[in-house]
Amino acid sequence: MDRVSGDPATSEAVLAEMRRQHETVTLIASENYASPAVLESAGSILTNKYVDGVPGAREYMGCEHCDTIERLARDRLCALFGTEYANVQPYSGSVANLAVYLSALRPGDRILSHATGDGGHHTHGSPDHISGRLYDAARYGVDPETGLLDYAEIAAIARRVRPHLLICGASAYPRTIDFAIFGEIAEEVGATGLADIAHIAGLIAAGVHPSPAGHQEWITTTTHKTLRGPRGGAIMCLKEDAGAIDAAVAPGIQGGPLMHTIAGKAICFAEARTEEFRHYARQVVTNAQTLAAALETEGLAVFSGGTDNHLLIVDCEGTGLSGHAAEAALFAAGICADHCPVPGTGQEYATAGGIRLGTPAVTTRGMGEGEMQALAGHIATVLARPDDRDTLAGAREEVRSLVTGFLPPESPLKD
């Protein structure tokens, strides 16, 4: 707690946020709790140093210890995913994607990617993102009946639009992604392949989801979602692309690398090789599948009938609620989730009719199948009576007593 001492105004809000994180439950699929070691590095004196360049070739003096840290992070990331080269400097997953575009594309080139309304990410060519302005973006979706990617259809679109870059990876796709087939499609149409594993990186690292390594020339990720590290991004690629990607990240897009974050990444990549992490990743999937099945038992419609990974989508149509209304009711009960278009329906985020639920954060807190059953019961109760104050207050109290038994790993309240 002394981390935030010195400025009462900020400290108070940080402490209030810590209490919120403890006393409510986050089922936001992209959120997690970083380890004490990661948090410590993120708050370390490394924030004081400018280190523009890459290890061994910096623009400033005094970078030798930072070189050691960045080399550790790079080598550990390559070892974790079995890739030839890595750049660990991207400030975020979005910047990692931009850097790949800058290396692999020229303005006006065509990209083909998972549609945002079907679970894709806006940095893959949405009109409101720079990628959609600089590049000619075509999108593929999921089969509305099964909720699955239809690889024959994607191949047909790829043959028609002939993309320079074929992007796979999503933010709201509850099923396994076949990176090998995406690789074959890219090769057939002469495209470069990018796998954006921002959401599922931790599952891939633990071997509970197939890896894109060897199937896509480029891999981008965040480090703070299932991977459970500091907030940031990273890129993996072939050795022959090393110079191009380093130059694209900086000076192409970024200024000075965030060494305190890179140290946190080095720690996170080591943590991800432990048996404890593999156990966590397996439990993330078990919890998501348990939550999906329990919600269906409660009469809610789970899109695609379940999940293979860390997230699921509830189609709220049967409840009469929009995604935004469902999210607000759950929040009033201490359950944080986010609205999400139901894939295959033509909905966008503004008109979302679903909510996305993910289990990485609750799993890090140590919750298991029993807690998922209990949460499913609370979710169903709230969505059945979203306007009833007593229902919401009762659920909020029960959720609070359920989750305060499972504090996040960094909690000073544990002592």
Ligand X SMILES: *Cc1c(COP(=O)(O)O)cnc(C)c1O
Binding positions for ligand X, rule: CB under 6 A: 30, 92-94, 97, 121, 123, 169-171, 196, 198-199, 222, 233
Residue type, 404: T
Question: What phi and psi values does residue 7 have, to the nearest 5 degrees?
Answer: -130, 95
Find the shortest distance in angstroms from Cβ 253 to ligand X: 12
CA-CA distances (angstroms) from residue 139 to 120, 160, 161, 167, 341?
9, 12, 10, 9, 16
Find the shortest distance in angstroms from Cβ 173 to ligand X: 9
- Comparison of 311 and 314: residue with beta carbon closer to ligand X: 311
Chain position whose Cβ is nearest to ligand X = 93
- Comparison of 97 and 309: residue with beta carbon closer to ligand X: 97
Q: How far apart are CA 201 and CA 181, in angstroms?
A: 19
- Comparison of 194 and 395: residue with beta carbon closer to ligand X: 194
Find the shortest distance in angstroms from Cβ 226 to ligand X: 10
Find the shortest distance in angstroms from Cβ 121 to ligand X: 4
Helices 389-403 and 323-332, packing angle to 10 deg:
60
CA-CA distances (angstroms) from residue 54 to 60, 240, 246?
11, 16, 8
| Greatest pairwise CA separation for the chain in angstroms | 63
Find the shortest distance in angstroms from Cβ 355 to ligand X: 16
- Comparison of 119 and 408: residue with beta carbon closer to ligand X: 119
- Comparison of 220 and 319: residue with beta carbon closer to ligand X: 220
- Comparison of 30 and 287: residue with beta carbon closer to ligand X: 30
- Comparison of 196 and 246: residue with beta carbon closer to ligand X: 196
Find the shortest distance in angstroms from Cβ 282 to ligand X: 21
Residue type, 408: P
Q: Confirm if 264 and 304 have CB atoms less than 8 A apart.
A: no
Find the shortest distance in angstroms from Cβ 319 to ligand X: 26
Find the shortest distance in angstroms from Cβ 235 to ligand X: 12
- Comparison of 83 and 116: residue with beta carbon closer to ligand X: 116
